Amino acid sequence: MTAFIIDGKARAAGWRLALKDEVAARLARGAPRPGLRVVIVGDHPPSRAYVRIKARVADELGIDGGIVELPTTITTDELLAVVEGLNADPAVHAMLVQLPLPPQVDVPRVLEAIDPAKDVDGFHPVNVGRLTNATRPDPAALLIPCTPLGCLDLLLAVHGEDGLAGKRAVVLGRSNIVGKPLATLLLSRDCTVAIAHSRTADPERLTVEADLLIAAIGRPELVRGSWIKPGATVIDVGVSRVADGTERGRLVGDVAFEEARAVAGTITPVPGGVGPMTVAMLMRNTLAAHALQTGILA
Ligand code: GUN
């Protein structure tokens, strides 16, 4: 079998088109222009690339997107003051602080300082708690972390709105950014969910039973063809750059793609799978935050 390859780039483009129309419709109804601020600390090259994409896509959609660049030497208190300023700014409906942050910064304090209504990453404990408590989390009413939301959207595109119930899902990785919220979302869709991580003995024993396998561990090509149940849906969240003799190297995921596509039923590529969906879901969350704050949909 050769797996069907999910075109995340095309699906994300569809989302962006719909969201651009939605921005125009809200402006036509007299709403203020949605504002998004992406805060970046220091010069971590992948983070800088991600935030540039986020601000550029925001602008494409008619959202007032801006990057707030801060020095790598910043203290927690200085960063908290920036967050408070954005909380208080009525032109800013949405914000995120790009992670990772330098070691001197108290990350939980910073994330907890963000107004939950503007927290488009969904990392504030209030939003995490709301997600955990929801029977069927509604992305229009609740800010849900962008990468898991994008993974769920791809899975719903493959399996249909009611097609995930009863499926065995294995999430590789237990991060607050992807693994844990994704497991929660899959549970809300009535999947049977297991989370495997760096201390899981013999993860392959779990993954070979998975109808849905989502890899979010950041270990290049760890998941081999032998880990995959024939016909499974495989979502690859990992992005790593590996040496290939060229100056830039090559982007690979957590899944050994060529081996996996020979076994899986459906698979996302890297690049062009989950990555563009994360950015599209950030824009979706920005409009959700804008609607919740302006009451434009009420
Ligand atoms: N670093 C890696 N992924 C993310 C994300 O989704 N949001 C933020 N803020 N930082 C990240």
| pLDDT tens for each residue of 279-298 | 999 999 999 999 999 998 85
Answer yes or no: 121 catalytic: yes
Same fold, 32-116 and 145-274: yes
Nearest atom in ligand 1 to the alpha carbon of residue 147 is: 6
202 among known catalytic residues: no
Q: Quickly tell me which residue has 């998004």 as its tokens.
A: 36
Listed residue (252, 182, 172) closest to 206, CA to CA? 172
Whether the CB-CB separation of 151 and 164 falls below 8 Å is answered with no
The full set of domain ranges for the chain reads 32-116, 145-274
- CA–centroid distance, residue 284 to ligand 1 (Å): 15
User: For residue 298, what pLDDT is reported?
Assistant: 58
- Taking a C-beta distance cutoff of 8 angstroms, is the pair 172, 141 a contact? no
Mutate to test the pocket of ligand 1, among 54, 79, 96 (most ligand atoms within 8 A of CB): 96
Compute the average pLDDT of residues 18-39.
98
Tens-digit pLDDT profile for residues 95-148: 999 999 999 999 999 999 999 999 999 999 999 999 999 999 999 999 999 999
Whether 177 lines ligand 1, by a CB cut-off of 6 Å, is: yes
User: What are 251's strand-pairing partners?
Assistant: 241
Q: Which fold is adopted by the domain 145-274?
A: Rossmann fold (3.40.50)
What's the gap in Å between 2 CA and the centre of ligand 1?
Answer: 32
Mean of the pLDDT values across residues 193-213?
98
Establish whether residue 296 lines the binding site of ligand 1, counting it when its CB lies within 6 angstroms of any ligand atom: no
Tell me if 146 CB under 6 Å of ligand 1: yes
Q: How far is the CA of 168 from the centre of ligand 1 (A)?
A: 27
Based on the residue annotation, tell me whether 104 is a catalytic residue of this protein.
no
Q: Which of 6, 11, 7, 4 is nearest to 279 (CA)?
A: 11
Q: Does 1 have pLDDT greater than 80? A: no
Closest CA to 228 of 254, 192, 250: 254
CATH superfamily of 32-116: Leucine Dehydrogenase, chain A, domain 1 (3.40.50.10860)
The tally of CA atoms less than 13 A away on the side-chain side of residue 128 is: 14
Asked if residue 213 lies in contact with residue 207, where contact means CB atoms within 8 angstroms, the answer is: yes
